[in-house]
Structure 1
Amino acid sequence: MRSVILLFCLIPVLIQAQVNPNLSYDLVRSINQAERVNRSNDHDIHLILKGDVKKLSTFIKNHKGSEKYSISNLIAATLPVSALSELSHLEYLKKAEAYSGALHFNDVVAIAQTRVDTVYSASGLLQQSYTGKDVIFGMIDSGIDPTHPDFQNDDGTTRIIAFWDQNDKLSNLPPYGYGKEYTQTDIDNGAMTSYLDTTYGGHGSAVAGVAAGGGMAHPDIRGMAPEADIIVVGIDPSVLDYLDRTPSMLNIVDAIDYIFSYADALDKPAVINISLGGIEGSHDGQDLPTQMIDALIEEKAGRAVVTSAGNAANTQHHIQFNVDNDTLFTWFKSMYSNSALCKRDSGAYMSFYGDSADVVNLQFSISAEERFPCCDILDETGFKPFLSSLGQIGVDTLWDSVNIVGIVSTYVEKMEGTYAYFMEIETDHMDLLWRYSITGNGRIDGWAGPLSARSCNSTYILNPAFVGTPSQIENYNNFILPDNDQTIGTAYACSKNVITVGAYDVRTSMTDVDSFNRSYFTNPLYRASFSSLGPTRDGRIKPEIMATGSRIVTTQASHVLAQKATSERYTLYLGGQHSITDGTSFAAPAVAGIVALYFEKHPYADINDVRHAMITTALEDPFMGPMPNNSYGYGRINAYKMLLDVPAGIPEELQTLDALIYPNPARGQIIVQLPYSEHSEKYQISVYNLLGVAVYREVVQSQTHFISLEQKGSFVVFIRNEKGEMYSKMVIVK
């Protein structure tokens, strides 16, 4: 073995000294790939920065970059590759990340099972019906079929008020720098007539149908929030090209900012659904994109993000080393070059994550071993401290007796209190096994392939017995098996603020388009076998909630319906406009639609109110076991009870806005005196009874406004302007 420490020598712009170890490996790898293809191309790259926002903003401007948006101590921006060397040495930069992890779709509406039927009918203690009116349902997915009746009003006009096609590389939507926007008027004028939701069989249209389908195509099939306004961001996460320079995770963050900003302009609450995700990463929410998402959600009331847990419960993605002064190991295999998904060369790839206290006493070694015959060690790196490659690329060359069999590159990145370890092996020897050995004292976790199951990391060997006998395999009894635990998707699915949803079985039969009854071997209300399991790497309960996701009927895009009508008629529901499908992809929008109902009733609720209402009212079944747990979370969502929950923050007395409400007590009429504005500022006035039910709501511009109330009792008058300034007061009507 021949070893050297390489100080970013693969990156011409970073050849000076050891750089800031808080520069992400994904950023380094993305630049490597771009420079390898065209070293003279000083293009811009999208990234998220954390640190002193004012100083970073000045740096971006001075280096011909572009600041897209910022919140707290985070900035989403673009910078030329040539500026990254200086960026990496800034004292006021705490972290810089660019993401390249591939995202995949996680593969009806059971109105009664979620108690939404009770919400529609205003039954029980609810005093009115809720359908998502005046709430934004935002969706980040493959796109949508704007011609489907479920996404149209009674008069044929569209319910889609905005569509951002991120895949349009020829357009430039400011401030994001890419993609094309279609307004509601554009869509009604036919601008999207030829648009096809083609990715993964019209995945986005099916997801939108679960959350917000209007039931125009068939009265039995409508979404949870059939009157919500719809905003869609179309993304194609199945194609990851480093040269596109906007990696998938940053597409997601941009999309969330776009939807929330659009909702703010309309002064409406918004819930966003993301039914896609990957499996790699730290699984603790410490990455900068997730921190940015958390900050965007917390910035204002009336915001929520919901995501699917994933469909990986039956895949052994996860491995954990608990090392106690011994030596443990696992094997992984090489993977062939894949130009369709990961854009990686042939070789072996692995990543591990651990907390600071758990990695400081660990050492690792990587060896190349023959598989046939088992299991001669050709060469090895020897044991090195886990943190030896912190902020620098370490390179080891492995040989057989004559030739190079692999070049091992390692890099350690600091992510808040977490350390991330990345290993890449450049090799043409696809028949070799790569042994990862670890010794010392501590704990690390890793997530891996196969490629077909949402990973660009290599595949584990599932059992040493598949390779050889104990007498052939060194340290046989210390082989660590991969497991099915912690299979929740990474990044935002492990966020503290994003609601992660698992799936349960819905139905045992369906009447198809030809009136045949189709039966299914399912257990209604039980967790679907594919629904991913928690917890997060730092031990938090995920998923939080369960919803309808296996054997559900939902909207389908027109081209998908045409294909199914000829070859898969047994999947089409009566009327031929909907079909049956499975996945946590469709459990998440069920929850997002219910959150839209909650926001209609409680538009001032924040994410803590939403989560509290959801988990404290969830339905528990005896077969779920002790609750909460990492299979069912806190139970099945219960829309009726959730809407009855009154947010802790009904603000009886709040004043960040000058206003006057009189008389108090009043006799049937309240007068609201608003501050004078030269610009005809808009104000939303809402009146709530003590159950939290909105009895009056209107957007006004006049300085004096009169409200008539027929009911007697105590009410909270809540006023909010376009800047987010608020005023509320408790009044009594006699």
Structure 2
Amino acid sequence: MTQEEKYKIISDDFIDLIIEYNRNEKLLNRYTNSTSHIINTRYAIAYVPASQLTDNFVYQYGYNTLPYCYGLTSEKSLEASGILKLRRVPSLNLRGKGVLIALVDTGIDYTNPIFRHADGSTRIVSLWDQTINSQNQYPEDTYFGTLYHSEQINQALSSTSPYDIVPSLDENGHGSMLAGIAAGSEVPASEFSGVAPDSELVIVKLKEAKPALRQFLMIPPDVPCYQENDILWGLDFVLKEARRLQRPMAICIGFGTSQGPHDGTGPLNNTLSFYADFPGISIVVAAGNEGNKRRHFFSQIDSAIGYSTVELNVGPNESGFFMELWGAMPNTYSIEIISPDGERSGRIEESIYANRKYDFIFSNTTLLVDYRIIETHTGEQLILFRFKHPVNGIWRFQVYTRGDLKGSYHIWLPMGNFISNNIYFLESTPYTTLTSPSDSFSPIAVTAYNPANNSLYLEASKGYTRTGTIKPELTAPGSNITVPILNQGFGDSSGTGLAAAHTAGIAALLMEWGIVKGFYKRLDSVEIKKLLIRGANRESSLKYPNRDWGYGIIDLYNVLNVIRGRFPDSF
């Protein structure tokens, strides 16, 4: 990519495609009128005219090239996790000193006092705002956004008009909330403290998804939505900052998607698992809030019958939505769709890849169906449905299987506010509802509970992954807890994103103990995960691991008890 071509990154006239090129640059020339932009040795982005994203795009190029769209996972926790108890041990007053905490999210309110040192200077070492365009003030090789270092932020903080100097805002508040939970300074009057209040921050404010991709997936234009490739760029930046500063880093991922095979594969999942194995890097991912939304369906097909029926409720005045069916190998799958008024599509037979359009005459509904018998990342079968102006009522899908084994399949609707609450399965299952990338193998996947009554957060997504990997591994405070909000106040909030931020702070404390203080120099995500699992609190009446709680509730004090022997109860 040249300086002259960089406008395509932010232009709505171009869409972004993820190419797994593995250093074979010939693969980057697959698309007409495209410009390539290499992220790393495995993945690159191709920018192509948005006019190429037509209804038969998946048929021509596959589903895996389109970036997945990610939404946010959050809507007196320190004592519950053993952190305050640990602070009362003079030799182990861990507060995150010497450790970086990174968030790739909606940005940060850098003027909030909870993100400053006692002398008023910023605790943010770098802030990359992908939404502010600059001529050349962006991270190396990215060609977009604006990078601000602590010197510029401190200059802004000393000014009467800080946003004239650093105009980066967190209009949503989600990123500031998670940063505050992980690393906010103590505010005794509001009974608030971040988990690692002496750590410093690396922040990425993501730019929102382009209109063409939103329209293709029928995601409402006013819902926060972020493209996979922009998240990949953000991760690449924060890792480079950790290397530049030669400091350990805990990374909090507070977003998710219900797109994809739910087995830990795909560009973002693969990248997270790769980075999570680096010494001095810990990655924590929110499990998602889809456990109670009725947006997941699972079925095994009785071979004597040959098919199973899915019933989907669609409310009135819906403009459109998409959903994905993933069928397990080695069988193949075909479908027939029946509208609420009884109009039938006829059985759509299996095909290696196919694109079908159905106009339901009586209901004025258009349905686009794409088959991929061998989906690129998994080898499993994918059937993608896209409804335009669906009539309200109960839609029925008869799913047939062919093969010598019992067939099984999952169907997922979109997550969060990407879809109306009036669209849901009549016989849904709350399990296997983890949002990606919490299904990634190496990062720590965390669900949420209410420490006031030890109850699981009602909306929390539940495990395991589609292939049976144990996720989530751990549970942390994330229901009805005090959080920083916009306008520099405090309020109550819930969501597994809060639990992920809490756990990222705990990971920072462990890295302070292990790497900064020298007790365990090679800590990474997997090592931290194992330590947290060993020290977790478990209810005697439950069997562990389980799909709701993972291996139990995080207790940092008990982790160090397990490692170093018993500490005194009080000092």
TM-score, normalising length from structure 1? 0.64
Asked if 1:411 is matched to 2:387, the reply is no
Superposed CA offset, 1:8-42 (max 9, x none): xxxxxxxxxxxxxxxxxxxxxxxxxx9xxxxxx99
Q: 1:265 to 1:84 in 2, by over 3 A?
A: farther
Task: Give 1:535's aligned residue.
Answer: 464
For 2:550, the aligned partner's letter is G
Asked if 1:258 is matched to 2:237, the reply is yes
Helix, strand or coil: the match of 1:53?
A: coil
Superposed CA offset, 1:615-649 (max 9, x none): 111111235x1111111111111112334666xxx
The 2-side partners of 1:130 and 1:578 are apart by 24
From 205, 213, 217, give the equivalent of 1:234: 205
Kindly indicate whether the alpha-carbon contact (under 8 Å) linking 1:167 and 1:236 is maintained by their aligned counterparts in 2: yes
Task: Give 2:449's aligned residue.
Answer: 504
The 2-side partners of 1:335 and 1:232 are apart by 39
Superposed CA offset, 1:514-560 (max 9, x none): xxxxxxxxx2x2222222211111112221111111221232332xx
Q: 1:280 to 1:45 in 2, by over 3 A?
A: closer
Q: Which has the higher strand share?
A: 1
Helix, strand or coil: the match of 1:227?
A: coil
The 1-side partners of 2:135 and 2:561 are apart by 45
Q: 1:494 to 1:622 in 2, by over 3 A?
A: same
In structure 2, stretches of 5+ residues that fail to align are 1-7, 54-60, 157-161, 217-224, 516-521, 566-571
Superposed CA offset, 1:421-468 (max 9, x none): 23335554524653211123411101125x765548992352xxxxxx
Q: 1:175 to 1:60 in 2, by over 3 A?
A: farther
**1:53, CA displacement in angstroms?**
1.5
**1:243, CA displacement in angstroms?**
7.9
**1:315, CA displacement in angstroms?**
1.5
Kindly indicate whether the alpha-carbon contact (under 8 Å) linking 1:120 and 1:130 is maintained by their aligned counterparts in 2: yes
From 259, 265, 290, give the equivalent of 1:312: 290
In structure 1, stretches of 5+ residues that fail to align are 1-33, 35-40, 86-92, 339-345, 371-376, 463-480, 508-522, 562-576, 647-689, 692-734
The 1-side partners of 2:316 and 2:98 are apart by 50
Q: 1:62 to 1:292 in 2, by over 3 A?
A: farther
Helix, strand or coil: the match of 2:204?
A: strand
Kindly indicate whether the alpha-carbon contact (under 8 Å) linking 1:273 and 1:305 is maintained by their aligned counterparts in 2: yes
The 1-side partners of 2:28 and 2:388 are apart by 43
Task: Give 1:53's aligned residue.
Answer: 23
**1:579, CA displacement in angstroms?**
2.4
- Percent identical residues: 23
Kindly indicate whether the alpha-carbon contact (under 8 Å) linking 2:21 and 2:27 is maintained by their aligned counterparts in 1: no
Q: 1:486 to 1:94 in 2, by over 3 A?
A: closer
Kindly indicate whether the alpha-carbon contact (under 8 Å) linking 2:21 and 2:44 is maintained by their aligned counterparts in 1: no
Q: 1:395 to 1:196 in 2, by over 3 A?
A: same
The 1-side partners of 2:528 and 2:400 are apart by 44
Asked if 1:114 is matched to 2:95, the reply is no
**1:232, CA displacement in angstroms?**
1.1
The 2-side partners of 1:331 and 1:212 are apart by 45
Give the stretch that moved more between structures: 428-437 or 258-267: 428-437
The 1-side partners of 2:190 and 2:398 are apart by 59
Pairwise CA RMSD: 3.6
Asked if 1:281 is matched to 2:260, the reply is yes
The aligned length equals: 519
Structure 2 counterparts to residues 198-597 of structure 1, below 5 A: 198-199=171-172, 202-215=173-186, 218=189, 220-235=191-206, 242=213, 248-298=227-277, 300-325=278-303, 326=305, 327-332=307-312, 346-347=319-320, 349-357=322-330, 359-360=331-332, 362-370=333-341, 377-385=342-350, 388=351, 390=352, 392-398=353-359, 400=361, 406-412=366-372, 414-425=375-386, 427-428=388-389, 430-431=391-392, 433-440=394-401, 441-448=406-413, 453-455=417-419, 459-462=423-426, 481-489=427-435, 491-507=436-452, 523=453, 525-558=454-487, 561=488, 577-597=489-509
Helix, strand or coil: the match of 1:438?
A: strand
TM-score, normalising length from structure 2? 0.81
**1:84, CA displacement in angstroms?**
9.2
Kindly indicate whether the alpha-carbon contact (under 8 Å) linking 2:315 and 2:393 is maintained by their aligned counterparts in 1: no
Task: Give 1:183's aligned residue.
Answer: 149
Superposed CA offset, 1:52-96 (max 9, x none): 41445885999873444314xx223334459999xxxxxxx9995
Helix, strand or coil: the match of 1:641?
A: helix
The 2-side partners of 1:170 and 1:620 are apart by 51
For 2:538, the aligned partner's letter is E
The 1-side partners of 2:181 and 2:348 are apart by 52
The 2-side partners of 1:438 and 1:95 are apart by 21
Q: 1:48 to 1:301 in 2, by over 3 A?
A: farther
The 2-side partners of 1:224 and 1:292 are apart by 27
Give the stretch that moved more between structures: 433-442 or 235-244: 235-244
**1:605, CA displacement in angstroms?**
1.2
Higher relative contact order (CA 8 A, sep 6+): 2
For 1:579, the aligned partner's letter is G
Kindly indicate whether the alpha-carbon contact (under 8 Å) linking 2:196 and 2:509 is maintained by their aligned counterparts in 1: yes
The 1-side partners of 2:214 and 2:296 are apart by 30
Q: 1:434 to 1:176 in 2, by over 3 A?
A: farther
Helix, strand or coil: the match of 1:251?
A: helix
The 1-side partners of 2:71 and 2:471 are apart by 19
Q: 1:118 to 1:554 in 2, by over 3 A?
A: same
Kindly indicate whether the alpha-carbon contact (under 8 Å) linking 2:328 and 2:407 is maintained by their aligned counterparts in 1: no
Task: Give 2:94's aligned residue.
Answer: 130
For 2:263, the aligned partner's letter is D
Higher Cα Rg, which structure: 1
Q: 1:411 to 1:622 in 2, by over 3 A?
A: same
Superposed CA offset, 1:375-405 (max 9, x none): xx323232412xx1x3x4422434548x975
Kindly indicate whether the alpha-carbon contact (under 8 Å) linking 2:302 and 2:308 is maintained by their aligned counterparts in 1: no
Superposed CA offset, 1:148-171 (max 9, x none): 111101110000111111223566
